[in-house]
Every structure is written in C-alpha cells, then in structure tokens.
Amino acid sequence: DAEPESPEQCLSLLPWDRFSAWLHCVCVVGFDVELGQAVEVIYPPHSKLTDKEKTNICYLSFPDSNSGCVGDTQFCFRFRRSPGRKVSLCCFLDQLDRDLPVYLKKDSAYYYGYVYFRQVRDKSLKRGYFQKSLVLISKLPYVHLFRTMLKQIAPEYFEKSEAFLEAVCSDVDRWPPPVPGKVLQLPIMGVIMKLRIPTYRDKPGTTPIVQNMHQADAQISMALPTVHEVDLFRCFCPVFFHIQMLWELVLLGEPLVVMAPSPSESSETVLALVSCISPLKYCSDFRPYFTIHDSEFKEYTTRTQAPPSVILGVTNPFFAKTLQHWPHIIRIGDIKLPGEVPKQVKVKKLKNLKTLDSKPGVYTSYKPYLNKDEEIVRQLQKGVQQKRPTEAQSVILRRYFLELTESFIIPLERYVASLMPLQKCISPWKSPPQLRQFSQEDFMKTLEKAGPQLTSGLKGDSIGLYRHFLKSPNFDGWFRSRQKEMTQKLEALHLEALCNENLVFWSQKHTEVETVDLVLKLKNKLLQADREHLPVKTDTLKKLQAHINDIILALPDDLRDILLKTGTT
C-alpha cells in the first residue's frame, strides 16, 4: 500500500502550485478618468478571471464615493465564482480541507477579495486624488492572515511598483501548504508570519497560542493570534444590547442587512455576525460588502419575492430605499470603542428607517424566542468601565456565543446520534443498514427531558426556536453533514465486519460465479473507501486487500488472470 505523498512532494509539482494553495491571484484596481474603475494588473499573469469576475472585483475593490475614505482603508468582500471552471491542484488540498472545522471549509462557489485601498490628494492627477486598491483573491476565509499580510506589503507596493508585486508572489510561492494544526512560518518581504490554522479536533473556543520565538537570524517574526477571527466586541459595540437577538436571527438564517458608513465597518460586522453561531457553519450566502453593481444585485433586491436568506453589508445610501422591505436592518454609525457604556437602546420600528442618516440601531419587528441574558450585558459593561482591553472583551463575547450555540445544538446532536442503527445490526453479508429518518415530533418530545435547559439557564420559547430552526438552511446544512458522517461510519463498520470473516473459507463453499461476484464487490468497497475517505484504519484496508488476493489465488488459472487484470489488486 503506497504511503500518501507528503505535502511538500505533492506541492512541488509546478511553479505557482504552492501559491495557488493560498491565493488565486493578486489584482491592482485603479481609477481611470475615462474608463472608471479598472483591473490594471493581475498577478501571476496566467491567472484566469472571467469578465464577470473582473467586473465584480472592480466595483467591490473601491469604497462607494459617499464613504469619504481618505487615507488607507482595509476591508473584504465575497463574490460568486463563474461556473464551469475546473478546479485543479492535487487531491492533497482536499485532504487539508477535511481537517478543518466546518466553518472554515472552502466553499468552491465563492472567492474572497481582501482589499487595501489608498486615496490621497495628488495635484498632478486630473481628479486631484490618487486612488488604488491592492486586492488578494483567495478561496480561504482567513481574514486576519490576509489583512496582516496586506498591512505589510500594500504601503510599500504603492511606493514601489510591479517588480515588488512579483517579489511578493514569489515569496508566497515558497510558503508551506496550509496544513491545519501545524505551526506555519510564512515569509513575506523580510518578515515571518507565524500562525496555526485550526483543525476540527480543536476544542471549540480554544485557540492554541503560537509563541513568538526570538530568532537567531535577522528576520523579524510576527505571531498571529488567529487566522480568521475578527474583533467581535468592536463589531458588536454599536448594537451591544441586541447581541442575543442577532444570534437568533443568524442562527435562523433570516435576511439581514448591515448598513454602515464604510466597507471596513460593513465587512467586519457581517463577518462577526456569521461567526457568532460558530462552531455551527452559517450555510446561506453572505456578502461583507455589497454594491449596486454586484452581479446578484437584482436577484437580492427584487420585491417580487420574499428577501432571500442572506446577510448583506452595504454602504450606499441608495440601499436604504431598495432594501426597506427587508425584515431586519442593522444600522451602524462609525465604529468607535466606547469610552462610556452605551445607553440601553430599544429595537426600532422598520417604518422609522427612511435614510442612511437614521440613528444607529436594529430595525426589526422580530420578537426573540429566548429571554434576554442580562448577565453578559452587565459583564461587558463592567469591562468598559474598568477599561478592560477589547481583546479580553471579545474573548468573553465569543465564549458567550459559543455556550449559546452549544446549548442549542447538544439536544439535536443527541437525538441524531440515536438514529444510528446498533452495531449488532451490521452483517457482513447484507448491505449496511440505513439511518433512521429524522422525525421533528420525536425530536420535540426529547426536549422535555433533555432540552437546552440542561446546559443553559436561559428561559423562553426554545420549542419555538427549534421549530423555526428546523426549517432553516443552517439546519439543512448541519443535518446533511451529520448524515454523511454517520453513513460513512456505517460503511466503515461494515468493512470491519467483512474483514473479520474468513472469506477464503466462504469462497470454497460457494460457486465460482458467487466468488467472482464477491471479489468484485470487495474491490468496489476498497475503491469506495478511498474515494469517500471512509473513517477506516489502514490495517483494515490492507487486511481486506490480502483477503481478495487469497481468494483470487485459490481460483482456477483462467479466472485468476481475468480478476488480476480488473482494477486494483
């Protein structure tokens, strides 16, 4: 049985393969008086982008003119990939994706754009301003990593030029692959970024700290505390009193708009919302920054049907009109960390939201299912009074959201585990048994004894919240992945059962036709185990392969030759 190739071997295939494991390409978007926004440079030059993707990147890489972003601004966006493009780069990257927690797995239908935008006065230019964006396009949702990287390289790029960009890209092409769970060292223009990508085995809510080593050589190293997290407390500050209601709205996949003064505030807030139900994966679409030029603008703002399950971050005042029929709108002023505790704010009526200069707050007629947790509000207010650092406030908030989500999901996990057939029902000579059907009523009955009240002190209509959740895309996504895991577990147990049988003895008692049929079935099982990455020990697979060989060797020569030629032996 061949050992799997090591990441390094696998990724030394071709130039740019290592680069592609992290980034799709780097773009420079500039402003031309005649043409408007245009992609000036794409690097590496062979990177493929369709015209539609380029148009999306052009418009999403600049703040709306009303944002008044002078100086340097960083933000991110997310857009649909054009269909029909083949996804290349060896199976090894899929292996990496499998080791990630669900909320960090790549969604191959979307790209992220990480932007560093500069706007400064320049008398020599027609418009009197220099405006340019350096944009990293990637499938990876590692916001903090790419933000840190842009901070390192963008200011220097604006001073220098294309040759600098080339040097940046060849640095990235020397990075180790994005293996979850390992401390990685990523050199970028004389600095080494040290980080660790989480794995699905990490206990939720814990981040192993990457130590900053003092290196003997002259390279400066920076330890990144996270690759993907945003500053939760800063983002939720403007809507401090509604965090629990927002958690419910995100959990239920309700249509949400964040109206903010600039793309950096809109994108941070949307990412904070999506992450507040972690370790559950938010399964609907979300756009950290969305403009009227977006290719999905019509689809998402139409009034002919109900608003879709999506979270949009917008800055253009025009949206106050186009999206006023949306059920939940979060209006955010400039995000400033409060010197004092924000005053208690009521949820506002949607009819009061006419313009983008409406007061900050949450506009909705939604009534939360759960009673409000006053304790978290008190804890964070105390932190503000005591000048507790924002990182510490974010840790408290993240733990609070994690406990809410885990209390909510444990009863579902417990019920779904009970749908698994007993091990004694697995017979090597029959197909693996099916999972039992999910029954909403049966699940609801389990809540009386084993509902969220066991792990959470929150009172309220949790039955109502579950009923609503079971209709949501987030439940659908969660249940599908559980179903797949359990079905694979059954397949794996079935393989184990086959391995423990004396198959050669069986074949001697059966006709040649039946024996050939068994061999072909066993070969298919091995192929399936490999293709679907079933959770089977390597020893089991080796044992099964040995069984197959023994059965074939015991057959007459003519049959043996035919079977040795078909497929893998």
Cβ–Cβ < 8 Å for 71, 90 = no
Q: What is the pLDDT of residues 273-312, one digit of tens each?
A: 999 999 999 999 999 999 999 889 999 988 888 899 999 9
Same domain (yes/no): 160, 294: no
Same domain (yes/no): 162, 237: no
- Indicate if the pLDDT at residue 248 is higher than 80: yes
When pLDDT is averaged across residues 146-168 and rounded to a whole number, the result is 91
| 197 vs 216: which has the higher pLDDT | 197
Nearest to 59 by CA among 326, 296, 307: 296
When pLDDT is averaged across residues 47-53 and rounded to a whole number, the result is 92
Q: What is the pLDDT of residues 174-208, one digit of tens each?
A: 999 999 999 999 999 989 999 999 998 888 777 66
Same domain (yes/no): 161, 290: no
Q: Residue 286: what residue type?
A: F
Give the pLDDT of residue 569. Answer: 42
Q: Which of 367, 392, 425 is the last residue of a domain?
A: 367
Q: What is the pLDDT of residues 528-549, one digit of tens each?
A: 888 888 888 888 888 888 888 8
Same domain (yes/no): 27, 153: yes
pTM for this one? 0.88
- Indicate if the pLDDT at residue 140 is higher than 80: yes
- Indicate if the pLDDT at residue 567 is higher than 80: no
When pLDDT is averaged across residues 228-238 and rounded to a whole number, the result is 90
Q: Residue 286: which domain range?
A: 232-367
Band (3; pLDDT cuts 50, 70, 90): very low
Share of the chain above pLDDT 70, in %: 86
When pLDDT is averaged across residues 494-514 and rounded to a whole number, the result is 83
CA distances from 320 to 242, 330, 389, 437, 550 (A): 21, 11, 34, 44, 72
Encoded tokens for 476 = 């659908």
Give the pLDDT of residue 366. Answer: 93
CA distances from 134 to 41, 209, 276 (A): 10, 30, 29
Same domain (yes/no): 236, 160: no
Count of structural domains, the chain: 3
- Indicate if the pLDDT at residue 209 is higher than 70: no
When pLDDT is averaged across residues 345-354 and rounded to a whole number, the result is 60
Give the pLDDT of residue 451. Answer: 66
Residue 252 forms part of a structural domain: yes
Cβ–Cβ < 8 Å for 275, 232 = yes
- Indicate if the pLDDT at residue 369 is higher than 90: yes
pLDDT, the chain, mean: 85
User: 192 in helix, strand or coil?
Assistant: strand
Q: Which of 309, 342, 367 is the last residue of a domain?
A: 367
Q: Which of 346, 367, 388 is the last residue of a domain?
A: 367
Residue 414 forms part of a structural domain: no
Band (503; pLDDT cuts 50, 70, 90): confident
Q: What is the pLDDT of residues 83-129, one digit of tens each?
A: 866 655 555 667 788 889 988 988 889 999 999 999 888 877 777 77
Give the pLDDT of residue 56. Answer: 94
Q: What is the pLDDT of residues 450-498, one digit of tens each?
A: 666 656 667 888 899 999 999 999 999 999 999 999 999 998 888 888 8
